Structures are given as C-alpha cells and as structure tokens.
Amino acid sequence: MPPTPTDQTVRREQLYALLRSGAARTQQALVDELQAIGIAATQSSVSRDLKELGAVKTRGGYVLPAANDDESDDELRAVSDLVRDIKTAGPNLLVIKTGAGAAQRVALALDRSDWPEIVGNIGGDDTVFVATASLAQQKRLISRLNIIGYR
C-alpha cells in the first residue's frame, strides 16, 4: 500500500528531528534510523524528503540549512504569527500572505535577516513578494522559514 500524506508528514518530521540532532553521513543511514523507530522509509523517499526540507550535503553528511539564533531570526520569529500562507510563484518568487496591514512588518524583518537566499522583497498591505536567485535558493528559504515557525 502506498504511503499516505500523513505517513509522509510523520516521516519528514522525524527526519527533521534526526537532522537537528546532528549530520547523517548517508541517506541509507537515515533510512536505517527511521526504520529503527518504526517509520517506513526507502532511500528514494528520504532523498525526496531531504530535498523538500532543504537539507544540503556537506563533507560531514546531510544537514539542515542554518537558522541562526541571532537578533534577525528573533525578529522573524516575532512576526511569524502574522503570516497566513506561503506559496511559490515560479522558481524565483515566494508570495507570503499576511494579515491585513502586516506585510510591511514581515518584509522589514526579512530585509533585516540578511539571509543570502533573499535577493530582495516588496511588501504591500497583506502580501510580500520575495525574490530568490534560483529554485534551489527558494527551497532553502522555504526550509529556513519553516524552521523558525512560518508554517
């Protein structure tokens, strides 16, 4: 039987938790760890999940993109409750929907973050357009936003 969306969500949450606790040398090591805790996983499903989470392969293994605990991230966390939805609009643009009148605050927090994935942004009343240099940068940005609470 194919996995359900709930299975995929649980697997990704556990994969995220595993990566937060340290780098994994190989995808197979992650498969083994997931299976050891009772979660069905294959190398191909883990590969897709890693891509979706924005994980990157380093010399030490697979790691999540850094979400630095500095003041700019604190500012982003402080406005995360204003975010209603995040959607992609092509490979270089994110559309962040906010509550009425909140887009400027979110846009300013994104500007101050100085994250390398962000080329620039424009904040209106309830919408922020965020430009990235590439699809890979866009995915990393989405992952970083998810890490700090923009879900």
pLDDT digits (tens, 9 = 90+) for 31-81: 999 999 999 999 999 999 888 887 877 777 888 766 544 555 778 888 888
Task: Flag whether pLDDT at 12 surpasses 60.
Answer: yes
Task: Please say whether the beta carbons of 116 and 140 come within 8 A.
Answer: no
Task: Break the chain into its structural domains and give their ranges.
Answer: 5-63, 71-147
Task: Flag whether pLDDT at 145 surpasses 80.
Answer: yes
Q: pTM score > 0.75 for this model?
A: no
Q: Which two tokens stand for residue 124?
A: 């209106």
pLDDT on residue 68: 47
What SS3 class is residue 34? helix
C-alpha to C-alpha distance for 123 and 51, rounded to whole angstroms: 28
138: number of Cβ within 10 Å: 23
Q: Do domains 5-63 and 71-147 have the same CATH topology?
A: no
Q: Report CA-CA distances (Å) from 58 to 5, 46, 63, 101.
A: 29, 16, 7, 41
Q: Which helix (H) or strand (E) holds 121?
A: strand 118-123
Domain 71-147 has CATH 3.40.50.10090: no
Q: Which helix (H) or strand (E) holds 96?
A: strand 93-98
Task: Please say whether the beta carbons of 73 and 53 come within 8 A.
Answer: no
**Domain 5-63: which CATH number of 3.30.930.10, 3.40.50.970, 1.10.10.60, 1.10.10.10:** 1.10.10.10
Closest residue by Cα to residue 66 from 74, 52, 56, 76: 56
> Percentage of the chain surpassing pLDDT 70?
90
C-alpha to C-alpha distance for 119 and 55, rounded to whole angstroms: 20
pLDDT digits (tens, 9 = 90+) for 87-125: 999 999 999 999 999 999 999 999 988 888 999 999 999
